[in-house]
Each structure stands twice: as structure tokens, then as C-alpha cells.
Structure 1
Amino acid sequence: MLFISALIGVYFAFFAKTKQNTTKEYLMGGKTMGIFPVSMSLIASYISGITILGVPAEMYVYGTQLWIQILPEIFSTLTMSYFFLPVFYELQITSTYEYLKLRFNSRVRLFGSIIFVVKILLYIPIVIYVPALAFSQVTGFNLHLITPITCIICIFYTTLGGMKAVVWTDTIQVLVMYGASLVVMVLGTIKVGGFGTVIERNQQSDRLEFFNFDLDPTVRHTFWTVCIGSFVSWLSYCSVNQAMVQRCLSMPTLKMANKTALILAFGIIAIVSMSCYTGLVIYALFYDCDPITTKQIKKPDQLLPYFVMNIAEWIPGLPGLFLSGVFSAALSTMSTGMNSVAGVIFEDMIKPNLSKNVTEKTASTIMKIIVVIFGTICVGLVFVVEKMGTLTQAAKSMSSITAGPLLGIFILGMFFPWANSTGAFIGGVFGLCLTAWISIGTQAAMAMGSIRNIPKPVSIDGCIENLYMQFNTTSPIIEQLNPPFFLYRVSYLYYVVIGMLFTISTGLFISFLTGFNDIHKMEKSLFSPIIRSCILTKKSDDGSLAMKKVTINSTKHESTTTDNDKVEKIKS
């Protein structure tokens, strides 16, 4: 799988008709990509080794309530297709944060870009470390040898092949992911004794929980926390995330981009559901001898590799297929992140400071250098991850911290014409600070033991005698501590919602204090279609339309055009 991925990079660098020597080719694939490969790439961008290993562990430890997260995915995809994507597609921008300068100013744009780069920089090392750890556990290979090899291959094909190499390697990798997940799921079900046995054993342990309608926001997972929190999280990840939007913009038409987004929704629903069901199968196999309690494994994230090795006794090659799927998830996420970061750093941080005479080949070379440097930093950070056991949880919190404020800023820009740049910037900063405060406070409370998540029951009654006698002890009495501050107890799924709402409300309030924008002077193409039809087409006092629709000729748009030139095109 690694060898094929590397060959794809070589092909698009040296043998394809287009050699990825322009920013349009390197970041957008020349806008000639097909629906199937881009759809697969979008799915691969979302699925990581953390998903493949973490979701089954979640089902095993806490039950199936989180499975409901697949329901909001369709609605978030439709919201993206009809309200967000048309704006980016009409403006034909390379970086989503480029929009923030067109709508607000360069300060807001830089704020969004920096948050995105930091988020990816923290996330990718974990994405690589998790499958490398699984590989080390299954094979005994040195973790320090696996990680650099994997990263070097990923950097190699991402640097040489650009967007097209990323998309086509993602396509192969996502097929491997689905194949590995399906084989493990089916063989596990057979090993346990059939689908009926899986459901029966999970039902007896009260793991099958889908419709907990408790309105208490402090309950970790309820129907409402999962649906509302997942909808906003999906919206942030799909609608304004550079990695996702960049691939949609590589499609020739908006209609094709919308079809791609719909396939993405069903693809994610499928892989998440497979991972959730696999978690139920794992419990059904270990229902009377919990491997965590008996110290056969150290933590829940190791459940799936342990499960695979358990059922692989009579199927040679199954561990290799499984690990190929896990590494495929990691490589696809890493390559997508590096390609997107290269576009953001170049377009938002370097390009504004370059002279207008920079050639396309020079720009492409700069982005390739960025990929190499960024990938090298990630390799180094993987070894930091190894020393910091709680970084995975901290990184997930970081994702929520940044997602809410960024989504709030884009909503201010596309849906509130009267919001100004001062309001957007201050709102984003305040939203970031609030969610960071809640997240860090929650982690501190959990470290002190004042917040505990209650797992579903497990048993060791069926273990062999020596394990049973060693670990069948009376449960310790848990000291009751004073409950922490209310916001620290709010479900982590609401962090994105809180950050988004606080950013929007603060942004509108600051805009009111500093003076709302005059919507008669705003450019119509910068707003969502629903705002154009409901607000911006209202007639002014003199009977004329408040705004005229502005269209940028996408066929003539060149990625080397400066931001000021784009603003002038819009105004003209």
C-alpha cells in the first residue's frame, strides 16, 4: 500500500500530462478532477486512525449513543451545499481564509489562517502516532522506525504529485480502509456466533442506547448533545474547512461539487457505522473477560488491534490488511492536511508579501518546500506525542476550541451583512478564549477526579482462573468530591456550539458599538444565496436594488492574482 502510494506521486510528478508546476494544478488539480476520486478523498480526509481505533473503543466503554452522530451529517451536507459552497465557488478563491479578507480585512484573515495551521500541526502527529502504535503492538516493530518511514513516503508523494496525487492516493487508501473494516467486522461477527449474539450480549449490558432524550447539557452523550453538537461540528469541518472546500473547488462545476459532498455524507455514515458496529462485536467477544480490567491491554484504544490478533489465529494476513486500513486512514489525513496547509501558508501569509512578478513555477516550488518543512516538523512532533500521554485528549479539545470560533466568523461574514471587521475579529478572539477556558478547566477537573465519566459494566467472570483470582477484587470506594463549575461539566460536544454562538453574538454586539456596515455598499457575491434573496435584494428608498449581483469570471481567474486585484474585480 505504501509502495503504490509512492508510485502515484511519481506518476503525477513526471509522467502525467500536467506536471503540477502551477498553483492551480498543485492546489486545485487544474479544476479537472472527477466526482469519484474527489469524493473518496473527502471521505479519507475525515477518517483517520483515531476514528478507526477510537470509535469502536467508545462503543465498548460507553455504549452506542454517539452512533446517532450520523443523523446530522446529511443536514450539514445540505447546509454546506446550498448556503456556503456557492459563495466560495463563485469567488473562485484558493484559500477559504482568503474570503475573510474580501469580506472583512487582512487581520481577520490572518487570525483564521494561523488557527488552522496550528490545529493541523497538533492533529497530524497524533494521526500518525496512533496507527504506528497499533502496528508496533501487533508486530513488535520499533515505533521509532515505523513513524519516519510512513511520514517520509507521505511527504514524498504529496510534495511531488500535489492535489492529484493526494486525491488518487486517498482513493486507493479509502478503499483499503473500507475493505479492512468490512473484513474485520464480518469475521468478528462469525467468531462471536452471529449478529443475534452480538446484539443480545450488548443489550444485556445496557450498551444499546440511542434515544436518551435527557435535556441536561452536562450529560456526556444524549440524543440532543450528539445531534446538536455533531451538526455544528460537521458544519465547521465540511463548510469552512480548507481541506474540504479546496477539494470541492477542484471540481469543474458547482453541481458536481454538490454531488461530491452528498457522496461524502453517505461515505462517512457508512464507515462510522461500520466502526460503531465493530465496537459492539468486540464487546460481544470479550463480554465475560474484559481485557482492560485483566491488564491484557493498557487502554481502550488498544482494543481493536487486540481484537484483530485474537480473531486472526486462523486467517493469515488479516493483521496486515487491518493495519493497511489503519495506515491508509493516517496517510490520507496527513497528505490532505499538508496540501491544505501549503495552500493556506502560501496564499495567506507569503503571497501578500511577494512581488507581482513571481512566476507560477516559483510559487509551486515554494509550496512544495512548505510541505517538506511542515511534514518534517510533524515527524519530530510524533516523538513528543509519545512522551505526552494526554495529548490525544488535549488535541481533540483543541479541535473544538478552534472549530466553533472559525465557523462563527464565517457565519458573521456570509449571513450578517451589517457585521463589520472589528466585530468579527473581537468575536473570534473572545469565542476562542471562552472555549479554551472551558476545555482547559474541564481537563483540570478531570485530572483532579471531580469529573468522572461512568462506563458501561464489564465482567471478568469468564476469564481463566489465574486472571480471575488476580483481578476479581472488590471495587474501591470512590470519594465524592464537590461538583466543579457548571461550564466545566457541560458535554464536550457542546464546545463547538458555545464557541460559535459566543463568536456570533459578540461579533454583532461589537459591530453595533463600532457602527454597522451599510448593506447598500456591500458586495453581493460575498454573502450566502439565502441572504442575497431575502435581504440584499430589497429595494432602497429610490426604488433601485440595494445591490447588484457581482460575478467573477472563473475561467479567467488566475491564482497568482493578488487580493487587492480580486477586490477591484468585485467592485468593478
Structure 2
Amino acid sequence: MYWEQIGFCVFVVGFIMVSSVKTIDKHRHHLRRKRILKNLLKVNYSKEDLLNHIASSGIVLKDTDGQEEKFEPYNGKAHLSKYIKVIVNYCVTFNSAFLIVGSLAESYLYGVRMVGNIISITLGFIYAFLIVQPFMYSLDEDIKTPYQYFERRYRNRKYVRAITAAAGMLFYFLFLTLYLWGCAVLLSTLIPQIPLWLSAVMIGVYSIVGSTIGGFTQSTKTNVLQFCILLAGLIMSLVFTIDKHKDLTPSQIWMLASENNRTKFFDTSADFTTRYTIINQCLSLSIPWTCVHSLLLPNFIRYRNIPGKRRSRFLIISHFPFMVLVNLILLISGGILCYIYFYGCDPIVTKKIVNKNQLGTYWIYLVLSEHVPSYTGILFASIIGYSVVQHSMGMALCGHTVFCEIIKPMFFDLFSCLRDNDEIIRWTKIILTILLGGLSTLLSIGFAYVRNTMLSLFFVFNNSINSPILGLFFLSAFNPYANDVGAMLAFLCNLGINFWLASGTVLISRLKSQEFPPETFLCNNDNHKNMTILNQNHRPHNYYYPTTKSFYNSTRFVEDYYPKNPALAYAYSIAPIWYCLFSLLFMIFMGSLFSLIYSLIKTRTIDADYKHAEERKPYLYIYRMFKMNSKQEKEKIVEVTFF
């Protein structure tokens, strides 16, 4: 065990030093550039003209410290190099604690029937590539977030921007909290002496420190190195698990898994209460994934900042092969090989682990510790190091976005003493970032007491929030008669219904259980007897260890307060994946209906904003993608002919 911890400590310190140096250097460079621009703007030039003049002349400027700052003119090779770096960094985003911990645990419990999730992500790529990204990329350059698009679409209504930004940041905040919770699970698995709650606090505090200066950052080389460490670790875990069962050939291992229904990829059930079916994953789950690929703020900023339509569109689908590779490895690892490793002795029933999210990481820990113990610590340090960087950067972006999209337009802009005071604005952002980081840490501790796995929690958050956002996009872009009152009323109702159903699903759900029953008939085997027990000194006094008969009965803890109303009971039992399709249809139909009712009441017509019909045209999909482009081409032809 000590070699694993030594390897972890050495490499985690190394990753901290590398990211800290890179972060401090980036922050100092940003502050120096900011001072230079502030001094230059005192001259009677516009900011754009001044920067263009400096870039074209290649002037070297000096600030008050004598440091030189040079604004380089456009360089095609340099921009191509930056573009490649963006793609590479985008492709290695799967090196996250949330994905590794959540996918392994979920596939162990539910098997390879989760292959439909890979199909749904693929469909999300296609929809984003064909529909959403071309439209959003063509918007004016001063639109920096998708929430500003909604504001422009509805006559510059600030409350529209604030509501949509609040929903988008709520999902992003919960998503980042899962990153932190995944890091805590990894750390407590590797070092059992540290309880889960303390792991979350330690990592959360470190992340908050970085988020106050814009978030920790890493070089592309470090990201690629960590991704390679992850792939090597997963592949070695697969090979060593197969090698451990030398008496079984690969075909016999597959047969053993098949006899226990572990190789059933497609569940064709057509009811609404089965968690994972090929129908709901392909038909419904692709909707929020489309939103994640194209409207989630980090991805939106990423492809909007790429010069050139083709390059920007390629960025959307660039990490598709890596997504398939990593998810397939995790699916096969958790669904089949992890099961084979623990065959006949479930680690939760036998009290080997505290939380079922530790299932996959416990398997990796046991397999690698037996053959390459030091690499176990290196692998865990790599995953945690990358995830902490993403969490700190995400929290900084959350704080900045909440201020710029909600607090500033709704409150600060009303008072000149606040609007023009840079010091108050800076400290407001810092305090907001610290508060969000603290809430994320506390919430990650609370996740330990939720019955859902990490990945199922992500599906609840993703389906409940991102599906209404995509529905709002379709309503806004394709229905010219939709108005702000009808759209926001439908949006808030949709979110309210989803949160109500999601809370019932998480707390008192009676979903049709697809979890495989645990097995303990081989627990007296020497291989299972020698397994390390994790966190045995940090278990709650009233911690309940399920038996093989009751472990997968999801109603055991809720029998007393489960709703007696059959309709309500059925509503709470609907699989969260179906929320996606419901939300999209609800937003399109109810948003149109509410808009129509409001228009009839206000103007006695079907269009409450008919006076602003010309202003909204550039923000409608058909006009912008077809009529507006053809109109611009005609204007160019006229100009050339006239010349």
C-alpha cells in the first residue's frame, strides 16, 4: 500500500507545482496586459482601432515596470498552432474523476446496456454539428454567451438573460461538484485513512484558492500526459484482470458474463419506468447532449472563438473518436471485467467499501496494486490533478458568468457608483467565486448520502436543466411569434416540473430495478478474503449494510413515506431519461401556446411583438441561415456590378 501512496504524493506534488507555475505566470501576464490597455485607452482612440493599429505596426510597449508587451499581427501558422492546441485539449477532457468513477460504478451495477449512452452522445454531436452550431456561430461577435442570444431574441429583455444564465450556471455548478465528489472518492480509495468528507474538504479548499485568480491551468503537454496515463492504467487493469483468471479463456470469460446477463447490450423495454433502454437513450437522451455540445457555456466559448466556420464546426466533433474509445473501455471494464474480478463476492455487501461509487476505483486499486503498485498512485494523482484544474477553472467561470449575466445587468448597472467602480466589481467576483466553491464542497459531501451513483446524478441534472434550455432554443429560433412572456413562463414551468419529478426520483423513486443482484457465494475464497477493506475506521455508526436480499431493493428506505396516490407514485417512477423528450415537446408546444395567449390578451393579434418584427429577424433560424445569407450575396453582387 505504501508504494501506491508514495507514487501518488510524488506525482500530485509535481502536478500541483506545474499547474501553479503556469497559473501564476498566466495571471501576471493578464494583469500586465490589463494595465497596458488601461493606459492606452486614455488616448482619444477607440479600443478596436488602437489594437488594430498596434497589431499592424508591431509596436513594443512598456508598462510602468519597464516590462515589454508586444501585440503581434495576425500569423496564420501561429493561429493554426493555437487551433491544434484547442482541439488536443478538447480531446483529453475525458480524463476526469467524474467520468471514471461514475461510469465504472454505473456499468458494474447496470451492465453494458448503457451502450445506448454512447449512441446518444453520438447523436448529440450530429444534431449540434448540423443544427445548433452553424446558427450560433453566425451570430454577431458581441454575443459572448448563449444567454445573450436569448436576450437579443426577446427585445433585449434583461430578465430573459438572467433566467437562462441562472439555469445554465446551475447545471454547470452541479456538474463541477460531481468532479469534486469524484476526486474525493479517488483519494479515499487510495488512502483509506482519509474519510470521504475530509477528502472533499481538502480538495475543495485547494480548488477555491485557484479559482480566486481565474482557476488553475495546465499546459497542453501536461493534459496529454495525464490522458496517456489514464489510458495506460485502464488497459493494464483489463489485461491484469484477464491474466488473473488464467484458468479461463477470453471466450469462457465472455460465456460466464453472458450466463449472468452481463453481455446484454440492448434492453428493448418500451415502458417509462425502466432506467436504461435502447429506446429512451437513443430517442430522448440525445437532446441534452446536443445542448451540452453546443450551448454549454465552456463549449460555446470554445467554438465561437475559433476563426473560420469549418474549423469551428470540426472542433465540435473532433473528440468523437476519443469519446467512443474511453467510454467503451469504461463500459467493458465496469460491466464485464469488474464483475468477473468480484465474481461471487460483491464488495458492497461484504463491507469492503463505504460508498458504491468506489466500486470501479476499488477494482483499479486492487488490480494495479498487485502488479504495479507505484503506478496506481500515479494514475490516481493524474486523474485528481486534471479534475481539480477543471473544477477551479469552472468555478471561476461560474462566478464571472453569474456576475456578468445576472448581477451586473440586473443590479450594478442601475447605480453608477457600482457600475464604474472596478475595485468593487473585482472583489464581488472573488467573493462570489469563493461562495460557489464553498457550496460545491458542501454539496459534494452531501452526495455521499444519496442512493444514486455519480453518473445517475449527472443524468438527473443534465436531463432536468439542459433539455429545457435546448427546447427554449428551438422555440426562440424557429417560432417567430414566440414572445418573452410566453417563453419564460414555459421555461420556468418546465424547470419546476423537472425539479419536482427529479427530487422524487432521487429520494423516493420506485424505478424498475435493473441492477444485478449481488453474489456472495465465493466470499470464503482466499482471493476475496485478502482484499483490503477501505475506510473501515470512518464508517457512520448507523451505516446500513444491505444483504444480498435487500441491497438492490430501491424502496427499502422509503416504504413509510412513499406517496399513496397511484398517479403521483407513477410520476416519481418515470426514468429521468424521459424528461428530455418531455422537456423539448413541452417547451415547443406550451411556449407557443403561452405566447399566443399573451399576444391575444395584449394586442388582439397572434404576434405581441409585431412592431419589432424586423429587429428579431436576424435571430430567427430560417431567416439567418437562408434568407439573410442570400440577401448578403445579392448585395455583394450589386456592389461589384456598381463598382
Distance 2:304 2:422 in 1: 19
1:346 to partner: Cα distance? 3.4
Task: Write out aligned runs for 1:63-74 (5 A).
Answer: 63-74=111-122
Count of matched residue pairs: 533
Q: Could you say which residue in structure 2 is the equivalent of 1:8?
A: 22
2:398 to 341, 349, 373: 341
Distance 1:82 1:391 in 2: 33
Q: Which runs of 5+ in 2 are unaligned?
A: 1-14, 39-47, 52-73, 530-544, 600-606, 636-643
Whether contact under 8 Å (2:146, 2:297) holds in the other structure is yes
Task: Tell me the SS of whatever aligns to 1:305.
Answer: helix
Task: Tell me the SS of whatever aligns to 1:54.
Answer: helix
Residues 156 and 443 from structure 1, CA distance in 2 versus in 1: closer, same or farther, beyond 3 angstroms? closer
1:119 to partner: Cα distance? 3.0
1:250 to 299, 305, 321: 305
1:523 to partner: Cα distance? 3.6
Distance 2:127 2:307 in 1: 21
Structure 1 residue 308 corresponds to structure 2 residue 322: no
TM-score by length of 1: 0.80
Distance 1:473 1:334 in 2: 36
Residues 335 and 44 from structure 1, CA distance in 2 versus in 1: closer, same or farther, beyond 3 angstroms? farther
Identity among equivalent pairs (%): 19
Whether contact under 8 Å (1:87, 1:525) holds in the other structure is no
Structure 1 residue 111 corresponds to structure 2 residue 163: yes
Q: Could you say which residue in structure 1 is the equivalent of 2:71?
A: none
Task: Tell me the SS of whatever aligns to 1:64.
Answer: helix
Residues 525 and 110 from structure 1, CA distance in 2 versus in 1: closer, same or farther, beyond 3 angstroms? same
1:343 to partner: Cα distance? 3.9
Distance 1:248 1:473 in 2: 50
Whether contact under 8 Å (2:274, 2:514) holds in the other structure is no
1:200 to 246, 255, 259: 255
1:303-351 Cα shifts (integer Å, max 9, x gaps): 1222123212221213213312431453254134224313422331244
1:520 to partner: Cα distance? 4.8
Whether contact under 8 Å (1:524, 1:548) holds in the other structure is no
Task: Write out aligned runs for 1:478-557 (5 A).
Answer: 485-515=569-599, 516=607, 517-518=609-610, 520-528=613-621, 530=622, 532=624
1:382-402 Cα shifts (integer Å, max 9, x gaps): 445556676966675344322
Q: Could you say which residue in structure 2 is the equivalent of 1:91?
A: 140
Distance 1:271 1:394 in 2: 20
1:417 to partner: Cα distance? 2.1
2:467 to 394, 404, 418: 404
1:459 to 519, 535, 539: 519
Task: Write out aligned runs for 1:122-201 (5 A).
Answer: 122-143=174-195, 146-160=199-213, 173-193=226-246, 195-201=250-256
Distance 1:10 1:473 in 2: 51
Whether contact under 8 Å (1:179, 1:325) holds in the other structure is no
Task: Write out aligned runs for 1:215-226 (5 A).
Answer: 215-226=270-281
Q: Which amino acid aligns with 1:309?
A: Y
1:79 to 127, 135, 158: 127
1:493 to partner: Cα distance? 0.9
Distance 1:506 1:15 in 2: 49
Task: Write out aligned runs for 1:362-401 (5 A).
Answer: 367=429, 370-385=432-447, 396-401=459-464
Whether contact under 8 Å (1:45, 1:243) holds in the other structure is no
The structure that has the greater radius of gyration is: 2
2:383 to 318, 321, 326: 326
Q: Which amino acid aligns with 1:100?
A: F
Q: Which amino acid aligns with 1:302?
A: Q
Distance 2:480 2:325 in 1: 38
Residues 292 and 3 from structure 1, CA distance in 2 versus in 1: closer, same or farther, beyond 3 angstroms? same
Distance 2:231 2:421 in 1: 41
Distance 1:253 1:368 in 2: 34
RMSD of the TM alignment (CA)?
A: 4.1
Residues 148 and 436 from structure 1, CA distance in 2 versus in 1: closer, same or farther, beyond 3 angstroms? closer
Q: Could you say which residue in structure 2 is the equivalent of 1:39?
A: 87
Distance 1:122 1:113 in 2: 14
1:120-155 Cα shifts (integer Å, max 9, x gaps): 334433421332233123213534664455345444
1:48 to partner: Cα distance? 3.8
Whether contact under 8 Å (2:464, 2:580) holds in the other structure is yes
1:252 to partner: Cα distance? 2.4
Whether contact under 8 Å (2:273, 2:512) holds in the other structure is no
Structure 1 residue 288 corresponds to structure 2 residue 316: no
1:425-450 Cα shifts (integer Å, max 9, x gaps): 0110111122122222333433xxx4
Q: Which amino acid aligns with 1:255?
A: R
Structure 1 residue 413 corresponds to structure 2 residue 481: no
Distance 1:38 1:12 in 2: 17
Distance 1:324 1:379 in 2: 19
Distance 2:380 2:633 in 1: 52
Distance 1:211 1:389 in 2: 25
Whether contact under 8 Å (1:13, 1:19) holds in the other structure is no
Distance 2:407 2:348 in 1: 49
Distance 2:547 2:504 in 1: 33
Q: Which amino acid aligns with 2:344?
A: D
Residues 451 and 219 from structure 1, CA distance in 2 versus in 1: closer, same or farther, beyond 3 angstroms? closer
Distance 1:349 1:70 in 2: 35
1:102 to partner: Cα distance? 0.6
1:46-91 Cα shifts (integer Å, max 9, x gaps): 6642321121222222111111221232332232133222333232
Q: Could you say which residue in structure 2 is the equivalent of 1:53?
A: 101
Q: Could you say which residue in structure 2 is the equivalent of 1:260?
A: 315
Distance 2:384 2:26 in 1: 22
